[in-house]
Amino acid sequence: MIRNSASEMASKLANGEITSVALTQAHLDQISAVDKDVHAFLHVDTQGALAQAAAVDAKRKSGEKLSPLAGVPLALKDVMTQKGIPTTCGSKILEGWRPPYDSTVVANLKKNDIVILGKTNMDEFAMGSSTENSAYGPTHNPWDLTRIPGGSGGGSAASLAAFEAPLAIGTDTGGSIRQPAAVTGTVGVKPTYGGVSRYGLVAFSSSLDQAGPCARTVLDAALLHEAIAGHDPKDSTSINAPVPAVVAAAKSGNVKGMKIGVVKELNGDGYQKGVRNRFEESLELLAAAGAEIVEVSAPNFEYALAAYYLIAPSECSSNLARFDAMRYGLRVGDNDGASAESVMNLTREVGFGREVKRRIILGTYALSSGYYDAYYGSAQKVRTLITQDFNKAFEIADVLVSPTCPTTAFKIGEKANDPLAMYLNDIATIPVNMAGIGGMSLPSGVADEDGLPVGFQIMSPVMKDDRMYSVGAALEAALLTKWGAPLLSTIPALAGSK
């Protein structure tokens, strides 16, 4: 039951073959069985999930019209507030905090009767590419427990690959949905910036952050996308326009006559051989499905990583100023007579981890008087150049494609002491965030040399998210025909797995 896709589960719920309580219990059982090894979850809300499931079953029994994913369980990244449920962002500074309100994403999930199983592990405040920066210990990749599940949303992606949940919510600032999807053999989508509300998403870099769906199939991602997307008056950067028809696109999977642009700069040197092979093979399948493959050039993409590591730290140094030990969260050193400033200094020393401090200090420097123009100002100009590169490329092609990451999952600990090597993971995913467009990663097979999953990235213009779903569905269907079974059916079994 837990190995089905979310849409298969939804059909079985709709025709009365299973109940949401049974389905939710099966996932809770799987979490009990395997999460000691995977560590995808920081908090499992057993009572709340079963109560929500029972309520959906009751509604269904009474003949109420329900949404397509009603009763299907989901794992929520711990960066999203859910009323009364611990929300840590993977940080000690928020340990024990129970938010007094629901994020809009959570409100939308509840409105759609999607059952929330619990909160998933992540790099602290979403800063990282491996989930090793969580203050609560790393998540392990279900394909190989000695390897990273990507980051920052490694918990969400791992929960899907470990069959602990069929759906998950992630957030993507520089690749935090797509890179974990790539290295775990799952699907992850970063919608157009402003497509999904950021209200209640604890901010890291406000001009880049975007929440999106994680799933095991393209259609499941589309169904979840429609459930969470749409205009929200509580987020002033939310786009006031209809949600692109992503479910229809995922169902049709039609790419006949579509022009698919291969980004020359996001391939070649630095990309693992097995990654390149799977990418070429996917292009052939898309061509066979009727798409026209063209090459496009985006010369300024090579500066994207540098610009990102100025813009994101700058915004984070400002956003994380709210963790000041006054109204919520950790407070350290509040002895009689201690000043507020000393309490802040001590709390932030103890509450923040290494990478978060590194980025706050870097951002403080980049924004400081005398250096602003040279660093933050220049990075903003690069952002313009990257957007122009995308605009030109989208004049030639309907969507752009690349490998999602240069390599497959690396070993836990391998890059922990080399921040620059770690940052390189996101070289192909960052340009999308800089321009605010949509991006998807879906599995394109495993690398011959290590047997680990490889991701295929599709990028679509602002509010044309449906295009990446059409291409994703076409590729997924062609690969399924080639393999005879989904990629995740070949994942090694975890000890105790149901």
Partner 1 sequence: MTSLSRDDVAKLAGLARIEMSDEELVALSNEFTVILDAVARVQEVASADVAATSHPLPLRNVFRPDVVVPSLSPADALSGAPAQEEQRFRVPQILGEE
Write out the binding residues for partner 1, residues 113-172 only, by CB under 8 A: none
Mind telling me the catalytic residues?
77, 152, 176
Q: Kindly tell me which residue out of 16, 337, 370, 484 binds partner 1, with binding defined by CB under 8 A.
A: 337
Query: In this structure, are strands 399-403 and 438-446 parallel, antiparallel, or unpaired?
Result: unpaired
DSSP run (H or E) holding 44: strand 41-44
Q: Is 341 in the site for partner 1 (CB under 8 A)?
A: yes
Length of the chain: 498
Is 391 a residue that touches partner 1 (CB under 8 A)?
no
Q: Which of 15, 47, 62, 236 binds partner 1 (CB under 8 A)?
A: 236
Helices 20-38, 6-14: axis angle to 10 degrees equals 150
Helix, strand, or coil (residue 341): helix
Looking at the Cβ atoms of 338 and 480, the one nearer to partner 1 is 338
223 membership: H or E segment, kind and range = helix 218-228
The backbone torsions φ and ψ at residue 330, rounded to the nearest 5 degrees and listed phi first, read: -65, 145
Residue 110: CB minimum distance to partner 1, A: 17
In angstroms, what is the minimal distance from the CB of 391 to partner 1? 12
- Strands 399-403 and 167-171, how do they pair? unpaired
- Within 13 Å, how many C-alpha atoms sit on residue 415's CB side? 22
206-225 binders of partner 1 (CB under 8 A): 207
List the x/- string, 81-120, binding to partner 1 by CB under 8 A. Answer: ----------------xxxxx-------------------
Near partner 1 by CB under 8 A: residue from 46, 252, 254, 342: 342
Give buried/exposed letters for 146-169 (b at 16+ CB in 10 A, else e).
ebbbbbbbbbbbbbbbbbbbbbbb
271: number of Cβ within 10 Å:
18
375 binds partner 1 (CB under 8 A): yes
Among 64, 280, 349, 448, binds partner 1 (CB under 8 A): 349
- Site for partner 1 contains 328 (CB under 8 A): yes
3 state DSSP class of 119: strand
| Residue 357 interacting with partner 1 (CB under 8 A) | yes
Name the site residues for partner 1 (rule: CB under 8 A): 97-101, 193-194, 207, 233, 236-237, 239, 300, 303, 305-307, 309-310, 317, 321, 324-331, 334, 337-346, 348-349, 352, 357-358, 360-362, 364-366, 368, 374-375, 377-385, 387, 419-420, 434-436, 462
